[in-house]
Structure 1
Amino acid sequence: MAAFDPADELGHDLDLRLLTNTSVTLFWRTAILDRTTAWLSAHGYQVTRIDAAHWTTERDLHRDIAAALDFPHYYGHNLDALNDCMRDVVSQGYGWASDTTGLALVFQGYDSFAARCPRAAQSVLDIVADQSRRAALLGRRLICLVHSNDPRIRFEPVGATPVMWNEAEWLDSRRRAD
């Protein structure tokens, strides 16, 4: 089963455009992120927002992701355990309702966490990208939207694909304060 039906007219679908080059997309302007999540919600996606702005340690990351995705009580609170539990989320064991079009994970204020814990921040995005690829193999859609208050933030490629800016803020000139 394909994640998208090739018989459909897909050129105008935002979700396909988000997933074409990478499953992890950066956002600077909140209004653009809000329009994107509204579109995804209107098209049947489960939108799960996780506020990363206040994370000061990896412990904070694990606590909030576990709560947002209803991880089991035995969750190990480390990156290997996160990868294991995300595999279960993709299998829709928990954290992702099976009657939805897909799952959109939204990390808000991620630049704050990335500044405090850069290795963990990069690893989380890599795990989500890898699990998004796994989801696609099962005919499912997992999208990660990352909000940053820093318009110049950059990440190394994740899941062998780059973390890219959304189409409205693609150009650096579109991420300047007005």
Structure 2
Amino acid sequence: MTVPLVRIDGRRIVDRESFHDVFAEAFGFPDFYGRNMDAWLDCLSSLDSSDDGMTQIRPPEGGVVVLQLDHADALSARCPEIFEDLVDCSALVNLRLLERGLPPVLALAFQKGRRSTEAPRSTRHTRA
């Protein structure tokens, strides 16, 4: 099973406007995307809906989409409220599905200020 990986460069996000620009581009949100966290949540809550046109990314049957946030530490330091909203709303995407008896579809992965091909300095699993 191939797992879709959507990579977001946290350095590109400097404010709410750029947050919505980056995510709309990466996930293929529709032209009418409302550019607020409610609209973001609605678009990503439809990852498992193949026909609604809210996003161009789909998980495999029974699988997940991995949202990899590169330079997560930089984003968290520069825009802590946006980073917190990203984490909280990602959890809500999955909670909405769980409440309907469906499996989660969104997994988060954080890369600190290093390329993903570099070996981690620790084997501990930490949140950026």
Q: TM-score, normalised by structure 1?
A: 0.55
Equivalent residue runs for 1:140-151 within 5 Å? 140-149=104-113
Is contact 2:29-2:56 (8 Å) kept?
Answer: yes
Give the count of matched residue pairs: 113
In structure 1, the gaps of 5 or more residues are: 1-42, 151-166, 172-178
Counterpart for residue 127 of structure 1: 89
Counterpart for residue 75 of structure 1: 33
Could you report, residue by residue, the CA deviation over 1:100-125 in whole angstroms, capped at 9, with x for unpaired residues? Answer: 53211111112222222211110111
- 3-state DSSP class of the match of 1:168? coil
Counterpart for residue 124 of structure 2: 169
- 3-state DSSP class of the match of 1:97? coil
Counterpart for residue 20 of structure 1: none
* Greater relative contact order (CA < 8 Å, ≥ 6 in sequence): 1
Is contact 2:97-2:103 (8 Å) kept?
Answer: yes
Q: Which has the larger radius of gyration?
A: 1
User: Residues 140 and 95 from structure 1, CA distance in 2 versus in 1: closer, same or farther, beyond 3 angstroms?
Assistant: farther
In structure 2, the gaps of 5 or more residues are: 115-121
Q: TM-score, normalised by structure 2?
A: 0.73
Could you report, residue by residue, the CA deviation over 1:95-153 in whole angstroms, capped at 9, with x for unpaired residues? Answer: 33254532111111122222222111101111011112334532353211122239xxx
RMSD over equivalenced CA pairs, Å: 2.4
Counterpart for residue 77 of structure 2: 115
User: Residues 128 and 95 from structure 1, CA distance in 2 versus in 1: closer, same or farther, beyond 3 angstroms?
Assistant: farther
The residue type paired with residue 134 of structure 1 is R
Equivalent residue runs for 1:12-161 within 5 Å? 43-92=1-50, 93=52, 94-97=55-58, 99=60, 101-136=63-98, 137-149=101-113
